[in-house]
Amino acid sequence: MLGSTRPKLVHQNHGRSKTTGTESTNVDLESTPLPRWDLADLRRSRDAGLNSDRSTLRKWLAEAPFTLAMSAGFFGFFAHSGVLSALEDAGLAPERVAGASAGALVGGLWAAGLDAHEISRQLMALRREEFWDPGFGLGLLRGERFRERLDAVLPVRDFARCRVPAAISAYDVLERRTRIITSGLLAPAIRASCAFPGLFQPAWDAGRPFLDGGILDRAGLAGIAPGTRVLHHHLVPRSSWLRRKTSTLSPPDGVAVLSLSMEGLPPLGPFRLAQGEQAMRVARRGIVDALDCPIAMS
C-alpha cells in the first residue's frame, strides 16, 4: 500500500561548513534538522487547500532544467524506474542524469535512449540466469553475463551518443576513491558501478579494478556539477548501520537538491526479483502523488 511507503520530500539546507568556511548544501534524510514532509500530510494539506501559496514539486521541476540523481541501493533499480516513468509521463524529463550502482543502471539506460516504460519492461522480464555466472575470483559472479545483457539492450554504446549527459560513479579500488565516468563506453561504466562487493567480481579497465559506486557515493550525487538543480531519489538503506553512515548527504557546493525518499519498499535481491514490479508500482505512485503537493522552499 502507498501509505506504508512513507515517501518524504526533503529540501536543500544552505549553511557554512565549519571545517572549510565555504558555503555548502546539506541534505539530511534521516535526522531532524531539515524540514521533512510525510506524503500523507502533504496530501491532506493539498486537499484542504492549505499552503496554496507554496510551489509544488511539479512547478519546481518545470520552471527550469534539472538533473535526476539516483542513489545506490542493491536491486533498487526497480524503484528508480518507477520514479522515472512517472516523471516521463508528466513531461518532466531531466536534462541530465547521475547515479551510483542501481541509479547508474537506470540513469545510464535512460540516457542511452530507452524510455522509462521500456526500462521497466526490461527489468520486469529479467531472470536470474541472465546475469548469474559464478566463477572463481573476488566475488561470486564474474559479471560477464551482466555486461553482455547491457551490450544487448543499450541503444548506443558511447556516452557521447547519449541523448542527455550522464555521470556514473564507480569506486577505484587502487586509489580508494570515487571516479566519475562521463565519457567512453557506457556498458563497462555501468558494469563497474554495479559491481556490488561480494556479489560481483571487480570490473577491470586499463588494468585497474573498479567496484560498486555506492561504496563511497551511496547518494549518487558525487557527479553533480555546481549550479545544478537536482531531483534526488534516495533509496533508504534497510541496514541500521548504513542508515547511520549515510544519515547526512552532502552534495557539492552550490547544488540545489530536492530529495525524495521512500521507506517500506519491498526487499529486493537476486532471489527476490518477483517483488520488483511491486517496488516499481509503489515508487511510481509515490512520485505521482508528490508532484502536486506543496513544498516549502528554504
Is 212 marked active-site?
A: yes
Determine how many CB atoms are found less than 10 A away from the CB of residue 169. 32
What amino acid occupies position 253? D
Q: How far is CA 87 from CA 5, 73, 173, 240, 297, in A?
A: 19, 20, 35, 30, 21
For residues 232 and 261, what is the distance between their CA atoms, to the nearest angstrom?
A: 8
DSSP state letters, 82-118: HHHHHHHHTT---SEEEEETHHHHHHHHHHTT--HHH
For residues 26 and 221, what is the distance between their CA atoms, to the nearest angstrom?
A: 11
Nearest to 29 by CA among 283, 243, 225: 243
Which phi and psi angles does 267 have, rounded to 5°? -65, 135
Given the DSSP bridges, would you call strands 203-205 and 248-249 parallel, antiparallel or unpaired?
Answer: unpaired
Q: Which of 85, 101, 169, 261 is catalytic?
A: 101
> Quick check: helix, strand or coil at residue 167?
strand
Is 52 marked active-site?
A: no
Q: Which of 205, 212, 217, 289 is catalytic?
A: 212
Indicate which residues carry an active-site annotation: 101, 212
